[in-house]
Structure formats: structure tokens, C-alpha cells
């Protein structure tokens, strides 16, 4: 990899190599600490959107690997406003060894990669969330072993998270079912690309507006907030539309008895998911959150280590 902009850009082999490296780094960390393979390296972290998990997981991950991370707030770097994205990329490349950007517009992180002389990692854009989807595959690999043949049902809004899940699941031969209210489906081109990839890997992409039939017999149930960051003004309008898509005990009971429940967080408890489920025995949500750090360490090592 030269950059990590979208899971779409990775091969199945590259994904599996990242999962293996993440597992090795996690085992090493639990056995006394990671080797300082990024000693002397600095990651510049550009934030347009705030985040608990993205900032802490990257910052602590760099620390564990012997490097350091520099947080750059929205007030310090206003991409495309205070100065052009190209200039920001060119300047940062003179100071740091890698750039992680959490942005609104996907074009901004693409431009950073185009003009940067150092690796760029997409920490989130409105189009995709690659680090989240890759860490989700890592979590599932820990819980279930082989990913090929697993069925993951995503229930909720057709947002950036499901875009990356579509790319990721189809690359490793999983069946991914997406259940959204009519009018809130994921991008047609993403679905088309994922479907084409699934034909090549033995996976499957299924679009089904009925959450109950979509969840039936699934190995994994995944949900996310019904209104993403930047859509807060739509929340009240969306609540009654999405209410039938809540992940609750009744819906979970339709999946396989040993199905796991996932959520990328932050969760709006009582909306897209109930307390009973998020805190229940089938939830692997906190494991997902921890594994963001381990998978991102694998990305950092792959891009920034000698």
C-alpha cells in the first residue's frame, strides 16, 4: 500500500495480510509491548470532525510503536478554506512521516494523497470509513475464524460505514445483506462494485428493505446511528422512518443463536439499538472499539515502517 483511502483499493490478499499483522501486533502488545518500529516517526492527524475512537486509537497506537502523533484541530487546519488542500499536503509532508485525515468530503482525503509526499490514511470521510470496516473484519476473524461464507446483515442508514463494509465483505467472500428504509440505500455504484467483486470471491450482496427477513439466519448483525455527523438537523425527521429498523432483542432472535452484534459507535441507545442488546452477551461492540487500535497499528506499520 502507498496510502489507505478506501477498502475498494485493496486486494483480498492485502486485507488478509493486514488482519494477520494486526493479530501479531495485538499478541505482541499483550505479551509486554510492541517493538518500537516507528521510533522517530510522526503521524500528523488532521481533524475536520471530532472523534473519541479515531484520535485515541491512532495516538496511542503510534505511542505503542515508538512514534508520536500530532493532533491538528479544525481551527488549525481548514482544508480548502484557510489554504488549499494541495498546499496543506505539501507542507505537512515536509514535517511528518504520515498523515491521517478525518474529513467531511472524500475529495479532500483524495487530494491529500495526490499531493502528499508521505502516506495518507483516511480516518473517515462522508463516502467511506476504511479503518472501521477493516477492524470489523479483524474482530470477526477473532470471533469466528474464517470470514469466507459468513453472513453479515447491516440494518439502518446507507452511510459511509456500510459502503466500506460492502467493499470489505465482498473482498473476502462474505455474504452481506443491507436493509435500509426506501430512499436511504447505500450508493448504487458502491453496491454495483461490491456485487461484481462478490461474484469473483464467492460472496454475495443482497439488498432487502425488510429488516426481519434480512436478519434471518445471519451470523452478524451490524447497525450504526440513523443520522451521521453533519445530519443532526435530520434526526427528528428520520426517527419514525427508521424506527422499524431498531436492533432489539426481537430482531436479534431471528439471527443464528450464536450471532454477534456490532456497532461502530457512538451509539444512540434506545434509537438504532437497545441497551439490552448493546450490553448483552452477543455484543462484541467493545471488542470492535479496541480493535480499531490494533488494526490501525497494522496500517501504520505497513505504510510507515522501514
Q: What is the pLDDT of residues 250-306, one digit of tens each?
A: 999 999 999 999 999 999 999 999 999 999 999 999 999 999 999 999 999 999 998
Domain that residue 167 falls in: 132-288
Look at residue 79 in the predicted model and tell me its pLDDT: 75
Is the confidence at residue 77, as pLDDT, over 90? no
Residue 251 located in a structural domain: yes
- Domain match, 148 and 210 both: yes
Regarding whether 73 and 103 lie in a shared domain, the answer is: yes
Catalytic residues, by residue number, are 102, 129, 132, 224, 264, 292
Residue 245: inside a domain, yes or no?
yes
Scan for cell 465482498, then name that residue: 170
**Alpha carbons 55 and 42: distance in angstroms, whole number:** 14
Q: Are 179 and 210 in contact (CB under 8 A)?
A: yes
119 and 248 housed in the same domain: no
Residues 6 or more apart whose Cβ sits within 8 Å of residue 42: 67, 68, 69, 70, 95, 96, 97, 98
The answer on 282 and 136 residing in a single domain is yes
Same domain, 136 and 283: yes
Average pLDDT of the chain, as a whole number:
96
- pLDDT of 128-172, one tens digit each? 999 999 999 999 999 999 999 999 999 999 999 999 999 999 999
Write down the pTM of the prediction: 0.97
Residue 83 maps to which CATH number?
3.40.50.1370
Q: Is 2 among the domain residues?
A: no
CA distance 171 to 153: 16
pLDDT score at 78? 73
Same domain for 233 and 168, yes or no, is yes
Q: Do 88 and 195 reside in the same domain of the chain?
A: no
The mean pLDDT of 10-25, rounded to a whole number, is: 98
Amino acid at each position: 500500500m502507498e496510502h489507505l483511502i478506501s477498502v475498494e483499493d485493496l486486494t483480498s490478499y492485502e486485507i488478509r495480510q493486514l488482519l494477520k499483522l494486526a493479530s501479531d501486533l495485538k499478541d505482541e502488545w499483550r505479551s509486554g509491548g510492541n517493538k518500537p518500529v516507528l521510533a522517530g516517526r510522526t503521524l500528523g492527524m488532521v481533524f475536520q470532525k471530532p472523534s473519541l475512537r479515531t484520535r485515541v486509537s491512532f495516538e496511542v497506537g503510534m505511542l505503542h510503536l515508538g512514534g508520536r502523533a500530532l493532533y491538528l484541530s479544525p481551527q488549525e487546519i481548514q482544508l480548502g478554506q484557510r489554504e488549499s488542500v494541495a498546499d496543506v499536503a505539501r507542507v505537512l509532508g515536509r514535517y511528518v512521516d504520515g498523515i491521517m485525515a478525518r474529513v467531511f468530503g472524500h475529495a479532500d482525503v483524495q487530494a491529500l494523497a495526490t499531493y502528499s509526499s508521505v502516506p495518507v490514511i483516511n480516518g473517515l470521510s462522508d463516502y467511506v470509513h476504511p479503518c472501521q470496516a477493516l477492524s470489523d473484519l479483524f474482530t470477526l476473524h477473532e470471533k469466528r475464524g474464517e470470514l469466507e461464507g459468513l453472513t453479515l446483515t447491516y440494518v439502518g442508514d446507507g452511510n459511509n460505514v456500510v459502503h466500506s463494509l460492502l467493499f470489505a465483505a465482498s473482498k473476502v467472500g462474505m455474504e452481506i445483506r443491507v436493509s435500509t428504509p426506501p430512499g436511504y440505500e447505500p450508493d448504487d455504484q458502491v453496491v454495483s462494485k461490491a456485487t461484481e467483486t462478490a461474484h469473483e470471491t464467492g460472496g454475495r450482496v443482497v439488498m432487502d428493505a425488510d429488516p426481519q427477513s434480512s436478519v434471518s439466519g445471519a451470523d452478524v448483525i451490524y447497525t450504526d446511528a440513523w443520522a451521521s455527523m453533519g445530519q443532526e438537523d435530520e434526526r427528528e425527521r428520520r426517527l419514525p422512518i427508521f424506527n422499524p429498523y431498531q436492533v432489539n432483542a426481537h430482531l436479534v432472535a431471528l439471527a443464528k443463536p450464536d450471532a454477534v452484534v456490532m456497532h461502530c459507535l457512538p451509539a444512540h441507545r434506545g434509537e438504532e439499538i437497545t441497551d439490552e442488546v448493546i450490553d448483552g452477551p452477543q455484543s462484541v461492540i467493545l471488542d470492535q472499539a479496541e480493535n480499531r487500535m490494533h488494526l490501525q497499528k497494522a496500517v501504520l506499520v505497513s505504510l510507515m515502517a522501514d
